Amino acid sequence: MKQLIVVAVFSLFHFSSALAKPGPGKNAASSTLKSAIVYRTGAELFHTARITLVQGNNEFVIEGLSNQIELNSVRVTSDNSGLAIMSVEFGKQFLEKENTSPEVKRLKDSVEKAERELAVVQSDIVTVKDLQAVLSANRSIAGSQTGVSVAELTKLMDYYRAKATELQKESLQLSDKEIKLLKQIARLQNQVKEEEKKNTVTSGQLAFQAFSPMAGTYTLNISYITPYAGWNPAYDLRVESISKPVSIGFKAKVSQTTGLDWKGIKLVLATSMPNMNATAPELQSWLLSYRSMHDQLSGKVAGVHIRGVNSIVENKSLSEVVVMGYGGARQERETPEPVYVVNGDVVSKEKFSQINKNAIKSINILKGDNAAAIYGSRAAGGATVVTLKEGLQDYVAENDNQLNVTYEIDLPYDVPTNGKEQVVALKDRTTPAIYKYFAAPVKDKDAYLLGCIADWEGLQLLPGEANIIFEGTYVGKTQLNPGSTSDTLNLTLGKDRRVVITREKLKDFSSVKFLGSKKLQTFTYEITVKNNKKEAIQMQVKDLFPIPTDKEIEVELLEFSGAEVDKEKSFLTWNLDIKPGESRKLRMSYSVKYPKDKLLPL
């Protein structure tokens, strides 16, 4: 019978980066990774190990674990019902991979080749120096001889000069080549060292002190949570034609850097986040106060910076600008670093910066006093409180989970510890859709195909990137955002070049007139929609006319070809049914009257 072994006092957990080998008197056992539950961020790993124990006190090490472990998540069960764990210590192992990577092999081959070339060059340098020495000695002998004619001496001097010059040039060339080869070898050797560092695997191990009432060899089942893994949803949206349903392929992009290569393990993907906080929440007082307008406009509020969001700072234009003036001077002062709170837990700035913006449900910024009242003096610089989306929280049919959806992968999976995303196919669903085209030619002359899916909640979608394959052709990517509260999920399925749209200003029906102190401008546009497809389409076209923001400006809609008019937003909407090969023309016209001494961006 297996027994859950819980360490009574978690302060007995320790960490030691120097724990590379078991000490004297400790026996070691390698663990085998059997399965993993991978959350959106983090994973729970399940290992087994066989260990031989003596009766009484034992010290042993279980190796082959993740290089980062949440110690308060460690759980151990055993077929030794009397085994009592007294303390656990975590450490790291630094191991060389058995197989040298192809890049290291290539670099080492390059080093050997360069060293052979260097040996040849250095040999040639020695030969040239010897020849120079012989030439110098012969010149001395020739100079000491008598009875040599002037012509012979001149000829001999020319020979020595030419030969000496030739040898000197060759010596310089060889020296330059030697220097270049030495630099090349040094650079390659540094690259080899860097690659060999990558080839070094850092894994973890747990050192136990335990009491066993009887001797024997036992099986340990060890589980724990590591932050160095996760997955992101992805999709394939396939539409064969607009007369057929949408096929949605659900995929997961799994990655991990736990220091362990996951080989042939059972993989379970969960849509929730691992919750390490098992304490029931306590309500805190809700302190409501005015915010400082200066802080809101200064561009720096409690250190908010989420990956994937561009800050709007200097020289960045906005479509709407509100300018407000305030009297008095205020001296800038450095504020303490804020604390970061995610789902009720205080986390490090580094962990906070790794949060994907798509996973954020809400952000609340607390100023110093309010933050300190809740989180203590460490929050004197304020607090950034983030609540993450947790996927589907209602009752779910799959796997009878109430809090999340899990996908159990029947086939054994390999996921290397290199941080690269491994694509895992989860399921395929086919769902009916109503297809219609959408265009806003005032902004974009292209027609976009939309797939409208009703009752989409049952699909259990998560925010993620989707590949679009329309009529057998890859047309691009889109973002799937099921966070909408609408009853209908609209999928953008890309552009269709066979639906042609033009928007042209009709000069003959546009004019400028002056009426006393007023200027009257009339604008007329014609929109043409041509369906070059072999099937009829539904099309929605939108355009707009200006909204006056000053009582001296008067706008009148003159013509709109039967469009639905939203006067509040100044939108015109045409819902069209267009036959194959048919063209439809839509006309809109409006006038703007304003003081003639003013300028308007019309």
Residues of the chain with pLDDT under 70: 1-26, 93-100, 139-148, 150, 197-201, 275-281, 287-335, 356-359, 389-404, 483-486
Residue 88 confidence (pLDDT): 86
Q: Which of 277, 235, 256, 342 is nearest to 37 (CA)?
A: 256
384 with 303: CB under 8 angstroms?
yes
Domain boundaries, the chain: 3-99+201-229, 102-198, 293-312+332-388, 500-595
Residue 280 confidence (pLDDT): 67
- DSSP conformational letter for 169: H
The three-class DSSP label of residue 387 is strand
Q: How far apart are CA 543 and CA 33, in angstroms?
A: 59
356 with 308: CB under 8 angstroms?
yes
Distances (CA, A) of 316 to 2, 214, 293, 307, 308: 63, 72, 21, 19, 17
User: Which residues 6+ apart lie within 8 Å of 27 measured at CB?
Assistant: 51, 52, 59, 60, 61
The three-class DSSP label of residue 247 is strand
- DSSP conformational letter for 79: S
Residue 278 confidence (pLDDT): 53
16 with 91: CB under 8 angstroms?
yes
Q: Which two tokens stand for residue 75?
A: 């759980």
pTM value?
A: 0.55
Residue 46 confidence (pLDDT): 96
User: Which residues 6+ apart lie within 8 Å of 421 measured at CB?
Assistant: 232, 253, 254, 255
Q: How far apart are CA 57 and CA 470, in angstroms?
A: 67
530 pairs with which residues across the strands? 500, 583
Q: In this structure, what is the dihedral angle of CA atoms 34, 38, 42, 45, given to the nearest 10 degrees? A: -10
Q: Which two tokens stand for residue 12?
A: 């007995």
535 with 483: CB under 8 angstroms?
no
Residue 478 confidence (pLDDT): 83
How long, in residues, is the chain? Answer: 602
Q: How far apart are CA 226 and CA 203, in angstroms?
A: 12
Q: How far apart are CA 259 and CA 351, in angstroms?
A: 19
- Going by CATH, does the domain composed of 500-595 fall within 2.60.40? yes
390 with 342: CB under 8 angstroms?
no
